[in-house]
Amino acid sequence: MTVKVSKPAINVREELADLRKPTGVAGEAMLRADTPQEQFNLIGAGRRNILINGDFQVSQRGDFTTASSATSNYYWVDRWLPSLGTVTANWQHKTDQLVNGIITNTARLEATSSATGYFQLYQKIEGYKICLGREVTISAWVKSNYPVNLYCYDGASQIGYSENHPADGQWHKLTSTFVLNSSSGALSAYVSTYDKASSAITTGDYFEAALVQLELGKVATPFEHRSYGEELALAQRFYTRLGNDDGGFTHLMVGAAEGATTYVVSRSLSTMMRAVPTLTVGSGVNAFTASAGAVSVIGFSTRCTRDIACISTNVSGTATIGQAAVLYDAGANGYIELDAEL
């Protein structure tokens, strides 16, 4: 026997809208977000990137947009150092590059000699102890014609190697998740040709890195973009450069003549530095008082703290004691730098 059952029509869309879900307004917004980045913004999941200047915005030491010879373990764009093994290489700071649909800056290293060795870019991390015994993920977008990877160094050994870049000259996102040993004594993040050993490098081999991030957790989240001002302040804890090298009579420090040929000058720093810095005065810095006029700086000693740069300068010319004195940018190399790097 056939039994026919009929049911009233149901408007599925209205029924779904009427479902009683314990999500609340915030939960609804999370469900409606189109991308993970929108979800991060909704819940305020910022401050993820442990690295500073991971998008290479800040370059206080100069303009490196033209390729120039790299010096191993010498700071370049803020917080980043190249490391070269046997080979030589050029570095270049490239601006306004399109990476995964984002306009950003990149850092490029290119071998200028052939040998069995490596070339790499790395950053030493100050607050690494927050990572001890925890899962950590490193990620970066990389373009290369050579098998390049990401890894970290924990003060004793290389750990957390990522997969290798396919060396096809295209942008690829590399990631690696690892657990940092609870007894590790350091942490540095690397983009490198070094894959547990040196390898054959040929002139012209290169890699270009962008949007480098190190974060807690086992997922590589979208890159955390910070403003230039915030990134600059973070970088200035380690290195601060005063002056523009343009001879525009920029006041670098002010003070008074302590003696006929000695000026004591100082300046409060906008960011407290990591440690009492080493201070260097460029050759293009001059001094000035009303009685002595413009005179050359011929020597100096420092009296710095972490937040005040203070120096005693020896100068040519004779000033009136107590008269206001100025150090200023008189042209090329008209800078003062304060270095508290790791």
pLDDT of residue 69: 97
pLDDT of residue 17: 62
pLDDT of residue 11: 73
C-alpha 291 chain-centroid distance: 44
CB 94 within 8 A of CB 106: yes
Closest among 107, 139, 99, 125 to 222, alpha carbons compared: 139
pLDDT of residue 132: 98
Q: Distance between CA atoms of 101 and 230, rounded to whole angstroms?
A: 23
* Residue ranges of domains in the chain, CATH in brackets: 68-236 (2.60.120.260), 239-339 (2.60.40)
Between strands 308-315 and 293-302, the pairing is antiparallel
pLDDT of residue 22: 59
pLDDT of residue 201: 98
Q: Does an H or E element contain 232, and which?
A: helix 228-236
Q: Does an H or E element contain 116, and which?
A: strand 115-124
Residue 203 CB contacts under 8 Å (≥ 6 apart), including other chains: 111, 112, 113, 114
Closest among 333, 322, 266 to 292, alpha carbons compared: 322
CB 165 within 8 A of CB 189: no
pTM of the model: 0.86
Q: Distance between CA atoms of 222 and 40, rounded to whole angstroms?
A: 9
Token code pair at residue 257: 């003549």
Cβ count near 139 (within 10 Å):
24
Cβ count near 204 (within 10 Å):
11
CB 222 within 8 A of CB 37: yes
Residue 20 CB contacts under 8 Å (≥ 6 apart), including other chains: none
Q: pLDDT below 50 — which residues of the chain? A: 44
Token code pair at residue 106: 């990149």
Q: Tens of pLDDT along 86-135?
A: 999 999 999 999 999 999 999 999 999 999 999 999 999 999 999 999 99
